[in-house]
Amino acid sequence: MKIAFAQLNPVVGDLAGNSQMILEAAAQAADRGADLLVVSELVISGYPPKDLLLREGFVDRCDRAIEELAQAEVFQRVAGIIGHPTRRGLTGQAIANAASLIADGAIQSTTHKTLLPNYDVFDEQRYFSPSRKIAPLVFRDRKLGVHICEDAWWGESSTRYHQNPALHPDPIFELATQGAECFINLSASPFERDKRHQRLNLVRNHVERHQRPFLFVNQVGGNDDLVFDGHSFVLNELGEMVLEAAAFETDFQMIDLDALPAPLQDSEQAYEKDLLDALILGLRDYMQKCGFSDCVLGLSGGVDSALATYIAAAAMGPEHVHCLMMPSRYSTEHSVGDSQKLVEALGVDAEIIPIDEIHKAYEATPIVGDDLKLQPLGLPDQNLQARIRGACVMLRSNTHGWIALATGNKSELAVGYCTIYGDMAGGFAVLSDLFKRDVYALCKYINQTREGREVIPENIINKPPSAELAPDQKDQDTLPPYEILDAILAGLIEQHKSVASLCEEFPEETVRWVANKLDRNEFKRRQMPPGIKLSQRAFGTGRRMPMAARFDG
């Protein structure tokens, strides 16, 4: 049996466009002699559809879309297993996350997702009813162990399904017990660091247990704050990888289930490459799927805005990136000079807009100027300058219809070293899930490996970071050294460590300062633009913390 699989990039809600992608993949599969085409989870609706599933008529239209696909001429020549939401066969307002086998002009059979994730960014129990029956799909007298994404994560320690097998049965075990001769997983599994290895280890555990081949078909592309990395793959019955689809791009592959290819050599990619690819794809898809062709951002001469500019140029092309250099009275000469070197290296559009005259106008304004005099060079004055810059960026955005990019990193956002309506202003926060240490690592990787030349000026990378909103200002005048700050933040945010345990690793005064800043600035992060999830705990939908709270621990 020849099975084709298409790693597609659906747009959430675009039923017609997504159906057309499936038809094109089916035509390619049929022309190449495939018996069956497999595509990813909820590909008809796009993933994640979120509350579109609750909108009147949406799921019904998804059901009509799968019925229309089944009747298409191409599915007379090749069968398909398609992921979609459905109400078919359910009572009341129930919805299932489903995969349907279509062939010979009709929907032949449908399986529903059993395990519904309800952690991190996943909220499937809000929408879907779990399957009450687990059984293989039969195609040409062969039993196929078709299941959907989370159904393969039974046994993973973080999911804890295995702690109550009566409530959460193991779908892979059930399919194997009923004679499935291979496993086929339709996934929409988002990227995070080391996710590829995590999936491979998980699937290999199933293969070692049941000695059957395993086909994993993932979505690719960016949808809101999630990036799907693809990396679809096939393992033989020994757990050896025999085929892997491209990373971070659409792909089409075929295998013969009865004559699997020879095992591949496992290749390792630098983690910086994966992070950059995820950032570039996430920004490109967010802009294009939201209808933006161009972006605008402030270019300060610092490492964050330099990296954001590089990502934007790689995502959309340098001709679609517009930078504003907005020196203040406190800016150093090299800040503009370093920015101009970056602009020349990338070929992006840039203009210089000094903000001192605007700043002086505020100082000369009655009442406003009086307030500024109360704290000369203090926080109000510094935030005012950041807001002047933010207003200039937003004015350019509004005038030309370009999306404004915010350039703050995770370290700054965590402790509130950022200005609401200033440097936080924008439609997308490109670096919001990168600690400062990651920003430096990516800049060095770009110069040394990805580009092989000095694209980001070395002076930007090497000079002490500064907001340049006060005389001789440096980040480390206010913040702990970034290597310590980032390590404490990683412990608090991503590892869920207590303050007490971190005080055993780092100076207590520093830990308590960081923890307090993290908690007290939740209100700022609630107002930040969406960004790209790269870690297990990104600010946004996957981390839900109270704003009005007190907890010392």
Q: Which tens digit of pLDDT belongs to each residue from 59-74? A: 999 999 999 999 999 9
Q: Which of 207, 224, 256 is the last residue of a domain?
A: 256
Indicate whether 167 and 44 sit together in one domain. yes
Report yes or no on 498 lying in a domain.
no
Domain boundary among 458, 474, 490: 474
Tell me what percent of the chain is helix, strand and coil, each rounded to the nearest 5.
40, 20, 40
Task: Decide if 503 contacts 370 (C-beta within 8 A).
Answer: no
What single DSSP character describes residue 252? E
pLDDT of 39 reads 98
Do 363 and 325 have their domain in common? yes
Domain contains 499? no
pLDDT score at 331: 81
CA distance 466 to 6: 47
Give residues with Cβ within 8 angstroms of 288, minimum separation 6. none
CA separation, residue 457 to residues 125, 313, 335, 341, 476 (Å):
48, 16, 11, 7, 21
Q: Is the pLDDT of residue 124 over 70?
A: yes
Q: Measure the CA–CA gap between 49 and 54, rounded to whole angstroms.
A: 10
pLDDT band, residue 543 (cuts 50/70/90): confident
Give the pLDDT score at 467. 67
Task: Assign 472 a pLDDT band (cuts: 50, 70, 90).
Answer: low
48 preceded by cis ω (within 30°)?
yes
Same domain, 35 and 158: yes
Q: Please tell me which residue in 62, 113, 174, 341 is annotated as part of the active site.
A: 113
238 pLDDT higher than 80? yes
The pLDDT assigned to 356 comes to: 93
User: Quick one: average pLDDT of 260-275?
Assistant: 89
Q: At what angle do helices 356-363 and 379-400 cross, to 10 degrees?
A: 120
| 111 lies in the same domain as 170 | yes
Q: Residue 468: is its pLDDT beyond 70?
A: no
Distance separating alpha carbons of residues 224 and 85, to the nearest angstrom: 19
Would 467 be classed as within a structural domain? yes
Average pLDDT value for residue range 139-153: 94
**DSSP 8-state symbol, 450:** I
pLDDT band per the 50, 70, 90 thresholds, residue 350 = very high
User: Does residue 186 lie in a domain region?
Assistant: yes
The per-residue pLDDT for range 517-541, each reduced to its tens digit, is: 999 999 999 999 999 999 988 888 8
d(CA 239, CA 370): 72
The predicted pLDDT at position 473 comes to: 67
Co-location of 223 and 309 in the same domain: no
The parent domain of residue 167 ranges over 2-256
In this prediction, residues 206-231 reach a mean pLDDT of 96
| 44-48, 91-95, 288-292, 350-354: segment of lowest average pLDDT | 91-95
Point out the catalytic residue in the list 62, 149, 295, 323. Answer: 149
Phi, psi (5° rounding) for residue 133?
A: -140, 130
Catalytic status, residue 436: no
Q: Over 50-104, what HEC string results?
A: HHHHHCCCHHHHHHHHHHHHHCCHHHHCCEEEEEEEECCCCCCCCCEEEEEEEEC
471: pLDDT strictly greater than 80: no
Same domain, 47 and 134: yes
Q: Is 195 annotated as catalytic?
A: no
Residue 493, domain member (yes or no): no
Count CB atoms within 10 A of the CB of residue 483.
11
Average pLDDT, the chain: 93
Residue 298 located in a structural domain = yes
> Are 92 and 46 within 8 A, CB to CB?
no
In a shared domain, residues 468 and 370: yes
Determine the pLDDT at residue 172.
94
Q: Give pLDDT, residue 542.
A: 79
Residue 539 lies in a domain: no
Q: 2-23 pLDDT, tens per residue?
A: 999 999 999 999 999 999 999 9
CATH of the domain at 378: 3.40.50.620
User: What is the predicted pLDDT for the residue at 163?
Assistant: 64
Give yes or no: residues 54 and 163 share one domain.
yes
Q: What is the model's pLDDT at position 91?
A: 86
Residue-level pLDDT at 475:
72
Share of the chain above pLDDT 90, in %: 81
The last residue of a domain, from among 221, 256, 291: 256
Q: What is the pLDDT of residue 443?
A: 97
Backbone angles phi, psi at 184, to 5 degrees: -130, 115
Catalytic residue flag (residue 149):
yes
Number of domains in the chain: 2
> What global pTM score does this model have?
0.93
Q: Please tell me whether residues 176 and 299 are part of one structural domain.
A: no
Residue 290 has pLDDT above 70, yes or no: yes
Task: Indicate if 211 and 308 belong to the same structural domain.
Answer: no
Catalytic annotation, pick one of 41, 174, 272, 412:
41
- Place 546 in a pLDDT band, splitting at 50, 70 and 90: confident
Do 78 and 175 lie in one domain? The reply is yes
Cβ 431 vs Cβ 272: under 8 Å: no
| Of 96-100, 129-133, 548-552, the least confident | 548-552
207 is a domain residue: yes
Are 233 and 345 in a shared domain?
A: no
